[in-house]
Amino acid sequence: MSVESAHGQALVERIRRKEALIGVVGLGYVGLPLLMCFAEAGFRALGFDIDKQKVGALREGRTYIKTVDARRIAGALEHGLEATTDYARAKQADALIICVPTPLNRSREPDLSYVINTVESLLPHLRAGQVMSLESTTYPGTTEEELRPRIESRGFALGEDYFLVFSPEREDPGNKHFSTRSIPKICGGSTPACLEVGLALYRAAVDQVVPVSSTRVAEMAKLLENIHRAVNIGLVNEMKIVADRMGIDIHEVIRAAATKPFGFVPYYPGPGLGGHCIPIDPFYLTWKARQYGVNTRFIELAGEVNRAMPEWVVEKLAHALNVRSKPVRGSRILVLGIAYKKNVDDVRESPAAEIMEILRARGAALDYSDPHVPVFPRMREHAFELESVSLTARALSAYDGVVLVTDHDAFDYALIAAHARLVVDTRGRYAEPAGNIVKA
């Protein structure tokens, strides 16, 4: 065991006995499930967030994330779960796990302000014998370049009286096969002792923990996972355009190719990338790579292809309307699904918002329908004063075009096809050709 200091040994022992207080900072789509995971593993859990509404909801046993059932929150409250906006209580915690956003700024460069502001808020309240874990996805070097100096500025010696790790989140909202507990957890430490403390922390609540040699390896591993998906989606989106020009159904092509039992993994085209990870993470690496004189052309090309998809979808809609002697301007358009993926209420970076912005700029009259998002939420770059429309035969027939962006299982696809004048299908939901169905 690499933990030789008295502080480290005492902390590991508190974790082993489940006497440690686990603090999770940032109670969004990553932090809230993680908080529940530790609470359900038998730990005292304390959630921190600057959003008073989230904290108030948790205190009352209410959920604000569809994938975290209110009954789980109520059960955790009975076993001592707490939520607070008071960062001074960080001194009480034995572990502080940071789960805050890492978006891009308007220049598509990393915005670490949430991470840095959170750490700065915590700094006055840190004490010896704590472990801090950063879970927010970021570029390699963030933990050592941004967190470590700030912690050491308080006079702590990492690996002796304070412990620092990076353990990237791997949440997949709506995935019924994997949970926070069952998804393997990568962990890298600033020192060998830090790693041992981090492993003890996560092994107490997660089924499998994967140690790596450094925080930089852990940071890069997370980026590779998501860049792998972004590049392959970019490839299949480009293939979709080629197939469309040739009059070939790309979804039929993928189904055929996927029958090969080796050497091929199916990826599916769509209206653009969504969610916090895949549209954003590649640019964290491209930005950092430039500091090393490396031009990540392959990654950036995939990003260009994927970012062009909302415009491509609108052009397909515009062409289909034109064939029907209708301009985009003045047409009534219904967008089906504004969540970034099916069967969830998460709208982060959803391509639906970009498609709606383009259509609004072209003069279309917009509505949307999403059973998981009843009111269009506040977003950093998009604002629509809209509520979800109920799908009925009469409602569908009133629109000039319906754009299927997110293929929730709750939609009645037969009803849509039977009564919509025009359906632009960006997800390949309609396998059989029809006069009112256009593939995009």
Element holding 320 (H helix, E strand): helix 309-323
Q: Using DSSP bridges, classify how beta strands 423-425 and 365-369 pair: parallel, antiparallel or unpaired.
A: unpaired
Place of tokens 């970076």: 349
Contact by Cβ (8 Å): 204, 11: no
CA dist., res. 269 & res. 250, Å (int): 8
Distance of alpha carbon 347 from alpha carbon 338, whole angstroms: 6
Which has the closest alpha carbon to 111: 101, 119, 121, 120? 101
Pairing of strands 162-166, 185-189: antiparallel
Measure the CA–CA gap between 440 and 17, rounded to whole angstroms. Answer: 55
**Helical H segments across 143-191, by residue range:** 148-152
Give yes or no: 277 in active site. Answer: yes
Residues 36, 375: Cα–Cα separation, whole Å: 26
Q: How far apart are CA 137 and CA 149, in angstroms?
A: 19
- Beta strands 44-48 and 401-404 are unpaired
Q: How many CB atoms lie within 10 A of CB 141?
A: 14
Q: Which residues pair with 48 in a beta bridge?
A: 25, 84
Which residues form the catalytic set? 277
